[in-house]
Chains A and B, each alone.
Chain A
Amino acid sequence: MAPKVPPQPTLEQSTSAVDAGHGHHHAHEAPPKGIMRWLLTTNHKEIGSMYLIFSLIMFFIGGIFALVVRLELFQPGLQFVNPEFFNQMTTMHGLIMVFAAVMPAFTGLANWMIPLQIGAPDMALPRLNNFSFWLLPVAFGLLLSTLLMPGGGPNFGWTFYAPLSTTYAPPSTTFFILSLHIAGISSILGAINIIATILNMRAPGMRMMDMPLFVWTWLITSFLLIAVMPVLAGVITMMLMDINFGTSFFNAAGGGDPVLFQHLFWFFGHPEVYIMILPAFGIVSAIIPAFARKRLFGYASMVYATAAIAILSFMVWGHHMFVVGMPLAGQLFFMYATMLIAVPTGVKVFNWVATLFRGSISFEPPMLFALAFVVLFTIGGFSGLMLAIAPADFQYHDTYFVVAHFHYVLVPGAVFAIMAGVYYWLPKWTGHYPNVRLAQWHFWLSVIGVNLTFFPMHFSGLAGMPRRIPDYALQFADFNFVSSLGAFLFGFSQLLFVAVIILCVRGGKKAPAQAWGEFADDLEWSVPSPAPLHTFETPPTFQRPAH
């Protein structure tokens, strides 16, 4: 999330040690000034920064929606908002966080880092890259504008189950569908670009099994995107037709079936949750070895585990639907298949811990977030295993226990990994180290805030508090009180994150090219800090590190 791009390259700068000796100077004309520069840029670093800034803004907008929800749930009773608006807030919070904050943040990191990590001069399709970014503000501007439309914005939950999202939906739903289509196209184009870059643009000598894990996890994530985003597009197209053209895909009256909606949605939805976590695995796998001062334990098994998770993720969607009246055989199948995913996930956690074992560990900001990721993501994995037990899920389903589960895997999971990545790569982006004091404050307040918010939700869920309600029975008051306090603490401490980033862009301790020592030695650390606008115009020769 570097709001400023490295200084304008002059010819001298780009002829640095890394790309010395290149013969051709194409496309180095002075870029257009002002807003046009950002509208038209095809540079992977500038586009990466734009993705990251966009994601940060959306993170705050989605965060404000969450705080509206937590404010209302602070005490039993209806105090601040009416139930209709409450439902719009829970829905918008989920949609914005998933599609506008977490996914674009990972795409931004991919844009910035993948070409640098594989020694490519840019993404394979730079103009397409610009287009996929600019689709996002359009999509989410449209989505946010539905809140102001007659009847309000989407109010049916981020999972938009039909017929709630068709027959009973507000009139703005057609715009919701349109905005999701645009966001989906953006993700798909991004995925094609990333695959094309990774498969074709690697530095000479770099084999697939030499690629940094962030590159590997993003490659697999892109395949997931290509496989499931069209299914999402299909589902919302069916909704659109049910709403506007009188078809009955999900309408029982016309021979359709609402359960079909859930099958289609979760066929997309479960791989989608892995889309939000696999790149996080990649980031953490880069950071832990760097600060444990050891090689990553089990590189190859990490790659295979990622692939295994991706393949299995297509076979477990039914675990979201245990209570729809699935036959016993179906429940058993989805239950065992889901538990099977815990195996490759366990392999990963084992490898991170084994990397730490007897390492010479230091606790710089990226490492703090990465370590918190390992611990707290694992807690989320365990609650996932509890939910995977079909008979137990009959009790847990649609309670706050599910909310606790997915927030543990997504906030101290995906979001912490993004923050770890930002702290890790800020020196490369800005040429300065982030302010350690402030970053530590940010870290500790975030960890405390996250756990205060989400840990009590396990208990309120087990005690039977349903999710997506604006009011609740008195016995849940204490848990909700703590959750709301934690949420405000977490929310406001994110302002520190913004402060660290702005300060780091402005100045700070100068970072050398290899900013985090000899175990952070992927190709990005061979270019100067800050990375000049154009890098690797002449491909570097890849040196396999001595293992």
Chain B
Amino acid sequence: MTQSDREIRQAGVRRTIWRSVAALVGMFAFAFALVPLYDVFCRVTGINGAVDTTAQSIVHEEVDESRMVTVQFITRNGSGLPWRMEVETRQVRMHPGQTTEVHFTFSNQSGGESWGRAVPGVSPATATRHVRKVSCFCFEEQKLQAGERLELPLVFQLARDLPPEVNTVTLVYTLYPVEGKSEPLQTAGAQNKEGEEA
């Protein structure tokens, strides 16, 4: 093998390395880019039940009297927040286009003040974009004093263009603590064991 052959080889190897490194960096960045892309994708398509968490205005469209849709409410406690969340009714029947108000109560069962937030989800995913929330406690974080009870409304409509095959829409709310704003959990938890289990 001559000197020049070896140099050509070396140059080839170097080129391969740089291209590989570029591909590696690109793919690593791609993995992180997928996080916002995924979010945008889910929001645009409504997959995932990821709903818009900003208020929308009431649209005065004609109520579709011919159609009845069942809307169910599920409330859940995520871990780490000693609150209880209840809804006045588990289920309502309504027409597309109609505006409905439902009340939810939050009670802090611990001995300290804490911040929480209810994260919404919609099922089936195809209904997500047709749920129009005018006012929702899920738009913002809540603060509850020790033992405080708070009643908050959800005002919403189902749009008339709700896909015809959807007869039941389920709205799920999961309670989570707001990082950094709650008091250290130990005090709350230690004082109120039963509350946490609820």
On B, residues with C-beta under 8 Å from A are 1, 9, 12-13, 16-17, 20-21, 23-25, 27-28, 30-32, 34-35, 38-39, 42, 45, 47-48, 50, 78-80, 117, 119, 123, 125-126, 174, 176-177, 179-180
Contacts and interface: CB of A to CB of B under 8 A. Distances in A.
B125 A230 contact: no
Contacts of A539: 1
B23 A264 contact: no
A226 B24 contact: yes
Nearest to A248: B179
Interface of A: 124-125, 167, 188, 191-192, 195-196, 199-201, 226-231, 233-235, 238, 246, 248-249, 252-255, 257, 259-260, 263-264, 267, 325-327, 330, 538-539
Most buried by A among B35, B79, B177: B35
Contacts of B47: 326-327, 330
Contacts of A249: 35
Contact of A252 (B16, B20, B174): B174
Given A233-B28, A246-B179, A255-B119, 6 more contacts: A200-B13, A200-B16, A226-B23, A226-B27, A254-B179, A260-B38
A235 B28 CA distance: 9
Contact of A192 (B17, B30, B31): B17
Binding site of A, secondary structure by majority: helix, strand, loop or mixed? helix
Binding site of B, secondary structure by majority: helix, strand, loop or mixed? helix
Nearest to B178: A253
Nearest to B26: A230
A192 B20 contact: yes
A469 B116 CA distance: 35
Contacts of B27: 226-228, 230-231
A230 B24 contact: yes
A253 B78 CA distance: 8
Nearest to B21: A192
A168 B35 CA distance: 22
B125 A125 contact: no
Contacts of A246: 179-180
A127 to B, nearest CB: 13
B24 A188 contact: yes
A195 B48 contact: no
Most buried by B among A227, A230, A253, A260: A253
Nearest to A255: B119
10 contacts: A188-B24, A192-B16, A196-B17, A196-B20, A226-B27, A234-B30, A253-B78, A254-B176, A255-B119, A263-B34
Contact of B177 (A230, A253, A267): A253
B119 to A, nearest CB: 6
Given A253-B78, A264-B31, A200 B17 contact: no
Nearest to A23: B1
Contacts of B34: 260, 263-264, 267
Given A226-B23, A257-B48, A196 B31 contact: no
Given A226-B24, A234-B32, A196 B177 contact: no
A260 B32 CA distance: 11
B28 A260 contact: no
Nearest to B49: A325
Given A196-B17, A254-B179, A327-B125, A259 B48 contact: yes
A302 to B, nearest CB: 24
A200 B38 contact: no
B177 to A, nearest CB: 7
Nearest to B20: A192
A12 B117 CA distance: 79
A234 B29 CA distance: 8
Contacts of A191: 20
A534 to B, nearest CB: 14
Nearest to A199: B16
B112 to A, nearest CB: 19
A254 B180 CA distance: 11
Most buried by A among B32, B123, B125: B32
Which 7 residue pairs across A and B have the least CB separation, nearest first?
A234-B31, A253-B176, A200-B12, A230-B27, A230-B28, A196-B16, A231-B31
A252 B13 contact: no
B88 to A, nearest CB: 25
Given A230-B28, A231-B27, A246-B179, A200 B126 contact: no
